[in-house]
Amino acid sequence: MISRNLCPVLLSLVTFAVTLTTSSLVLGPNATQPCVCLQLKLTTKKALAMLEEHGGAGRFFLMEQRGVVYSFSSELSGQKLFVNMTSLIEYDADVADERGLLSIALHPRFSENGKFYTYSIRKFNNVQYAYVTELQEVFGRVDVSREKLIMVIQQHNVTRNGGQLLFGNDGYLYIFVGDGGLRSTAQNMSSLLGKVLRIDTDHAEVADNLIRYYSIPSDNPDVSGLREIYAWGFRNPWRCSLDIGSTRGDIYCGDLGEGAQDEINLIQKGHNYGWDIKEGAICNNHPCNMTGLEGDPIFTYNHSKGPAAVIGGYVYRGPSIQNLTGRYLFADMFSKNFLYTLKNSSGGQWEENHLYYCDPGVCPCHARESVGEDYLVSFSQDRKGEVYLLTTKSFTGRSTDDRILKLVSPNHDFTVCQASSHFSLWTTISSVVISLAVQALSKNYFHIL
Ligand SMILES: *[C@@H]1O[C@H](CO)[C@@H](O)[C@H](O)[C@H]1NC(C)=O
Ligand SMILES: *[C@@H]1O[C@H](CO)[C@@H](O)[C@H](O)[C@H]1NC(C)=O
Ligand SMILES: *[C@@H]1O[C@H](CO)[C@@H](O)[C@H](O)[C@H]1NC(C)=O
Ligand SMILES: *[C@@H]1O[C@H](CO)[C@@H](O)[C@H](O)[C@H]1NC(C)=O
Ligand SMILES: *[C@@H]1O[C@H](CO)[C@@H](O)[C@H](O)[C@H]1NC(C)=O
Ligand SMILES: *[C@@H]1O[C@H](CO)[C@@H](O)[C@H](O)[C@H]1NC(C)=O
Ligand SMILES: *[C@@H]1O[C@H](CO)[C@@H](O)[C@H](O)[C@H]1NC(C)=O
Ligand SMILES: *[C@@H]1O[C@H](CO)[C@@H](O)[C@H](O)[C@H]1NC(C)=O
């Protein structure tokens, strides 16, 4: 999923170094800069997705990498087990595993037909595959043994699995597949690896005398290769989303680079996004033949400051933080004190700004969490357009108090929150202690300089 094949020990060393150099910034810069507050919504175990049902009971679904999906009421309470696929999938909670259950997508008419789709890494005859499957909720129950295999794609390694599923405005299922650990696959049009695929899950088809539980949309691009391919040239697309406020149905994607740059792409039909000829805007092969690489990233950033792993997010469409409307929010797993925002300026240029986490003192009393040293691994968006951060305490799957944090507008009124319970009293005291400690630390830090 996230890391760039670094072994866990190296990762933790690097993490330690990153922690040291950024500790004076954990609470964000100062109150005069645009910033956003964080409200704790749920505590989980390495959740990689949270979705809200459209219509029906308006439930939320929370997907954990180990293979479990829970349902919640529309108020995010009343947790119930929805699906348990742990026995089917490959996932090792003791290491920084990129496999597991990586995505679920609800059918656009899920509240009527109960159908949803999963993307997971599994083993068959000791070979690893990305499985795309269809499951169905019938009378409140999901029978995993009745899942339908939509697509099975062989992987060449345990990393670069891609793993996003989403339904576009057109009602088709988009599947974002990594290069599977073999870089030559992304430009190979006979391979499904390193591609964005688009299929119609509502119409089965007979192909090579076998029933296939999807068909190819008639307007898929003509790529002289596999007809599922919608766009190509990806290394490891991690977190792609549909802009729910765009009538055109814009889809944004983060794509993790190898060693130099990470990128954000706006996915267009029939475009080649360049991997492994180029990475971000940088050429990989010399001399570089850029002919036909029309999929230019809308944003790239260098890895010059150490480890990096882009986490694609969402275009903010919520009613509560007006300054963020229409901005694409994303993050880097190793940049812990800010989010990136991209805005399409009038000239068609993409303008990037950092959005910091507010000092808790300027936040509403219910929204005074900080990301601290946790890692952001994914984002979520509800039907209103509000955005949530999915964070984890460790690269392994062993922490049980990973958090889902909702972005909330600051109120800048500097009120001291009432201690309505031991918990909030503790939060208030600890935030004061932490900010004093951070101030002391940053003073020391500057003394040393
Ligand atoms: C707050 O941040 C702004 C913008 O970076 C900077 O100009 C200003 O000096 C900062 N103020 C304080 C009190 O640190
Ligand atoms: C939001 O926008 C208003 C004006 O549009 C501006 O005054 C305010 O400083 C902005 N707030 C943040 C947090 O960016
Ligand atoms: C999921 O199923 C496995 C066995 O297949 C079981 O060990 C585990 O406890 C179940 N998890 C949950 C959350 O029910
Ligand atoms: C899988 O990736 C790791 C890390 O990049 C590499 O050491 C290993 O050789 C790869 N395995 C295969 C089968 O390509
Ligand atoms: C392209 O992919 C196909 C299917 O995996 C494979 O058979 C073929 O050898 C690949 N071609 C190259 C040039 O790697
Ligand atoms: C450059 O790439 C294009 C598109 O793949 C190809 O048609 C062309 O022959 C290549 N040119 C060279 C000099 O390799
Ligand atoms: C990013 O890296 C490339 C290649 O290493 C270099 O040419 C470019 O100047 C760097 N850009 C920034 C903003 O550091
Ligand atoms: C960005 O802005 C340009 C110029 O206003 C417009 O043509 C284009 O459709 C916009 N793109 C997106 C993704 O909003």
- Across the range 193-211, mean pLDDT stands at 96
- Across the range 390-412, mean pLDDT stands at 92
Residue pair 265/195 in contact by the 8 Å Cβ criterion: no
Which amino acid, one-letter code, is at 133?
A: T
Is the whole-model pTM more than 0.85? Answer: yes
Q: How far is the CA of 349 from the centre of ligand 7 (A)?
A: 19
Q: How far is the CA of 348 from the centre of ligand 8 (A)?
A: 5
- Across the range 35-49, mean pLDDT stands at 97
Residues 194 and 339 in one domain: yes
Q: How far is the CA of 313 from the centre of ligand 2 (A)?
A: 22
- In the predicted model, is pLDDT for residue 409 greater than 80? yes
CA nearest to 416, candidates 364, 367, 358, 356: 364
Q: How many CB atoms lie within 10 A of CB 204?
A: 13
φ and ψ at residue 195, rounded to 5 degrees: -130, 160
Instruction: Please report the pLDDT score of residue 172 as a whole number.
Output: 98
- More confidently predicted of 216 and 446: 216
Which pLDDT tens digit goes with each residue over 16-36? 333 333 322 333 444 456 899
Instruction: Please report the pLDDT score of residue 290 as a whole number.
Output: 87
Q: How far is the CA of 86 from the centre of ligand 3 (A)?
A: 7
- In the predicted model, is pLDDT for residue 42 greater than 90? yes
* Structure tokens belonging to residue 179: 């290069």
| CATH at residue 57 | 2.120.10.30
Nearest CA to ligand 8 atom 8: 348
| Residue 3 resides in a domain | no
| Residue 97 resides in a domain | yes
* Structure tokens belonging to residue 274: 């360049």
- In the predicted model, is pLDDT for residue 3 greater than 50? no
- Across the range 332-356, mean pLDDT stands at 94
Nearest CA to ligand 1 atom 10: 30
CA nearest to 118, candidates 131, 137, 99, 100: 131
State the total domains in the chain: 2
Q: Is any atom of ligand 6 closer than 6 Å to the C-beta of 78? A: no
Burial class (CB in 10 A: 0-12, 13-18, 19+), 260: middle
Separation of CA 395 from chain center: 15
Mean pLDDT value across the chain: 88
| Residue 2 resides in a domain | no
Q: How far is the CA of 333 from the centre of ligand 4 (A)?
A: 22
CA nearest to 196, candidates 171, 172, 218, 213: 172
Place of tokens 């119409």: 203
Which of 323, 324, 338 is the best mutation target for the ligand 2 pocket, counting ligand atoms within 8 Å of the beta carbon and taking the most?
Answer: 323
Q: What is the pLDDT confidence band of residue 347, given thresholds at 50, 70 and 90?
A: confident
Residues with CB under 6 A from ligand 3: 68, 81, 84, 86-87
Its domain, for residue 60, covers 8-414
Residues 295 and 323 in one domain: yes
CA nearest to 357, candidates 381, 391, 382, 385: 391
Q: Is any atom of ligand 4 closer than 6 Å to the C-beta of 312? A: no
Residues 435 and 289 in one domain: no
Task: Report the residue count for the chain.
Answer: 449
Instruction: Please report the pLDDT score of residue 28 as a whole number.
Output: 42
Which pLDDT tens digit goes with each residue over 279-336? 999 998 777 888 889 899 999 999 988 899 999 999 999 999 999 999 999 999 999 9
Q: Which residues of 312-339 are buried (b: 16+ CB within 10 A; e: fewer)?
A: bbbbbbbeebeebeebbbbbbbbbbbbb
Residues 139 and 151 in one domain: yes
Which pLDDT tens digit goes with each residue over 135-159? 999 999 999 999 999 999 999 999 9
Residues 430 and 297 in one domain: no
Helix (H, G, I), strand (E, B) or coil at 15: helix
Nearest CA to ligand 8 atom 12: 344
Instruction: Please report the pLDDT score of residue 55 as a whole number.
Output: 87
Residues 337 and 427 in one domain: no
- In the predicted model, is pLDDT for residue 14 greater than 70? no
Residues 343 and 422 in one domain: no
Q: How far is the CA of 261 from the centre of ligand 7 (A)?
A: 9
CA nearest to 84, candidates 101, 97, 96: 101
Instruction: Please report the pLDDT score of residue 2 as a whole number.
Output: 52
| Residue 1 resides in a domain | no
Residues 350 and 445 in one domain: no
Which pLDDT tens digit goes with each residue over 50-98? 999 998 889 999 999 999 999 999 999 999 999 999 999 999 999 999 9
Q: Is any atom of ligand 1 closer than 6 Å to the C-beta of 32? A: yes
* Structure tokens belonging to residue 112: 């009527």
CA distance 314 to 317: 9
Percent of the chain surpassing pLDDT 90? 76
